Amino acid sequence: MNKIFLFALAVSAFAKAQQIPSPKTDSLMLRSIYDHNLTQSKSYEWLDHLSNEIGGRLSGSIQAERAVDYTTAELAKFVDRTEKQSVMVPKWTRGTPEFAYIQLGNLNTINVNVCALGGSIPTREEGIKAEIIEVKSLDELEVLGKEQIQGKFVFYNRPMDPKKIQTFEAYGGCVDQRYSGAREAGKYGAVGVIVRSMNLRLDDFPHTGSMSYGDLPIENYIPAAAISTNDAERLSTYLSLDSDIQFYLKQDCTVWGDVPSHNVFGEIKGSKYPDEIIVVGGHLDSWDLGDGSHDDGAGVVQSMQVLHTLKELGYRPQRTIRVVLFMNEENGLKGAKEYARQAALKKEQHIFALESDAGGFTPRGFSFDASDEQMALINSWRNLFKPYLIHYFEQGGSGADVGPLKEQGTVVAGLRPDSQRYFDFHHAANDTFEAVNKRELQLGAATMTSLIYLIDKYGTLKKTLD
């Protein structure tokens, strides 16, 4: 145990006896947290194993269950208790690689990069070839009507807005065409949909992601695939020159029934208020094209590292701190819903939940789904984070997996890394271990640990719940 931390403990004990905040103690503690993460962190080692030894962890897959076993075993080495929480999750498999091409009027063909969207049905065995019509929004389908859509592919080609500095806003501005595109086109008799990948840059990687048929009758289900941004531009150009070109798609993905899986959690029991629970977590599942290093292997290992850091520094939390690794965030959110349901049944008191699910890039701060009073208390800690270039403390938003806990009165939050490069990798084959910078990953874990430490020490967010 280093001298700085021993001194911090001594000052902290004095401050607690006086029942007053101790900024100097907290500053020293944060320094110890960052020093530890930048020199002795295990997060990058854990991510290496998840990515390179296990790989993509689509819910319902063998790889997902191997990740459950691995993280449970690693957590058991340093926490007080671990648990595998049973949950039923949807299973979908991609099958053989998809194949598609554009057929020009002179019968020449140009192969394009596509991938099936998660949850899509397959094409028939011989594939589908048909005319293709380009739209920029779901609303355009109603204008075109069944007469112009029936028997054709619908090509959704609304790009992410490059003017948005917050790239998740750009994503939110066009992801409806991926999620609901097949449902809406199926109503008008389309034979399939091709969706521009959710990606701000031009490249050859198609990006998968979840889609839904909603309440569409099963006889109107149609195949759905994403096309790379380069090929979306190419397809749009050809259509502007000849609206009668043909498009061919073949994919043999399969939608299975629900299968058993698990959330994973490990906790360090609180020494003073053990019934008050602080959650930190990420989602253990990923898409299958890459190995899910940014989405969300980074969040998984950063969350594990929070508890490991506190343990290694000899800090005994007052409140129970629990790392939760949720299953099935990508295509159903079943793990998060089950965790919240079980928490309600057990009448557990969750006072705060933090999620990391925005990639392993340089941390900038946090967003909080919290009241004005709670934000005032959180903002009082801003100066402690300034030496580490953490400045973003904003109200609004958290994370998909911690969201269901909000209904129980829990304050929820999300780590906010720099997002400018995130959608270069999101749900694509290039989301691999090599894309994650070790130092940036470690800084994110240190930033999360620092916030969890402050919430545990002061318990300030609980005031509005009493």
Q: Which residues contact 264 (CB under 8 A, 6 or more apart)?
A: 68, 71, 72, 75, 82, 83, 84, 85, 284, 324, 325, 327
Pairing of strands 259-268, 81-89: antiparallel
Token pair of 371, please? 């009241």
Give the Cα separation of 238 and 110 in Å (integer). 11
Q: Characterize 289-321 residue by residue with b for buried, 16 or more Cβ atoms within 10 angstroms of its Cβ, and e for exposed.
A: bbbbbbbbbbbbbbbbbbbbbbbbbebebbbbb
Q: Which residues contact 315 (CB under 8 A, 6 or more apart)?
A: 29, 453
Alpha-carbon distances of 142 from 157, 184, 193, 464, rounded to whole Å: 16, 9, 16, 47
Give the Cα separation of 149 and 238 in Å (integer). 18
Whether the CB-CB separation of 68 and 262 falls below 8 Å is answered with yes
Pairing of strands 192-196, 224-227: parallel
| Closest alpha carbon to 115 in 410, 426, 448, 336 | 426
Whether the CB-CB separation of 283 and 170 falls below 8 Å is answered with no
Whether the CB-CB separation of 297 and 50 falls below 8 Å is answered with yes
- Residue 53, Cβ neighbours under 10 Å: how many? 12
Q: What is the DSSP letter of 294?
A: I
Is 219 known to be catalytic?
A: no
Annotated catalytic residue: which of 329, 338, 348, 355? 329
- The alpha carbons of the chain give a radius of gyration, in whole angstroms, of 24
| Closest alpha carbon to 275 in 329, 348, 199 | 348
Q: Catalytic amino acids? A: 329
